[in-house]
Structure 1
Amino acid sequence: MLKSNLLVLYLSYRDPRVKWFAKLFTLCVVAYAFSPIDLIPDFIPILGYVDDLIIVPIGIVLALKMIPQVVIEENRPKAQEILSKPRNWYTATLFIIVWVLLAAWLSLYVYNRFFS
């Protein structure tokens, strides 16, 4: 549900019917949700997860209230369609294999060049 709502917000952000201040707030919420940098670092006991459990959902709810309902209803099916598409694991596997082979080749090259 959280991922779906974030995708709806992202799609709604790009809609011209959304007012500029709602776009700005929505952009901040989506960027914060996907950002690896937290307002309160996760290593702080209890408080570290406050932003993940409270701040992000409240931001999503507020952003959804700022966006016209028509825009949200148009973007919900689009978000569900994007989320339901199958992932192309073959391509991802191919890229991982290429990177592993490249790293192995580079390691052997450096070892043979500088350590033997």
Structure 2
Amino acid sequence: MNLKERAKKLKTDIPAVFIAMKKKETPVGAKIIAGLTVAYALSPIDLIPDFVPVLGYIDDIILLPALVTLTIRMIPADVFDVCRKEAEGLWPAGKPRKWYYALPIVAVWLLIIFLVVKAIW
């Protein structure tokens, strides 16, 4: 599978993870990871900003696909197949960007800043 095919599959897997997160057949652990994955995917703020050379694109190339893969492995295959079919036309204009999905990322950055300031004092 080449990079273009993987990117296309990722575009359909994120909405499928979103749908699977709402299904009662999905285990609780998978729902938690799915919630983190969807929040990170839909957040307009990256954990590592894109303007940081090289590291800025690691989350887009490695972190997000790894989170999606981990989530898919935790969801039963038959449940995820149904979710994939339901997700085929869910976000035709691309993934929505909601500012409230950025709150976990902002919280992580605030925690890092707090710990750095505390270590300096």
The TM-score normalised by the length of structure 1 is: 0.68
Calculate the aligned-residue CA RMSD, in Å: 1.4
User: How do 1:1-116 residues align onto structure 2 when only pairs under 5 Å count?
Assistant: 1-83=9-91
- Residue 83 of structure 1: CA displacement? 4.8
Q: Which residue of 2 aligns with 1:96?
A: none
Query: In structure 1, how many angstroms separate the alpha carbons of the residues matched to 2:80 and 2:29?
Result: 16
- Residue 81 of structure 1: CA displacement? 3.5
Q: Kindly, what percent of the aligned residue pairs are identical?
A: 38
Greater RCO (CA < 8 Å, at least 6 residues apart):
2
- Residue 48 of structure 1: CA displacement? 0.4
Whichever residue aligns with residue 80 of structure 1, its letter is E
Whichever residue aligns with residue 36 of structure 2, its letter is C
- Residue 82 of structure 1: CA displacement? 2.8
Structure 2 alignment gaps of length 5 or more:
1-8, 94-121
Q: Deviations over 1:69-97 (max 9, x none)?
A: 1111111111114356xx7xxxxxxxxxx
Give aligned pairs, total.
Answer: 85
Q: After the TM superposition, which segments of 4 or more aligned residues of structure 1 sit over 2 Å from their partners?
A: 81-84
Larger Rg: 1
Structure 1 alignment gaps of length 5 or more:
88-116
- CA 1:72 to 1:48, structure 2 compared with 1: closer, same or farther past 3 Å? same
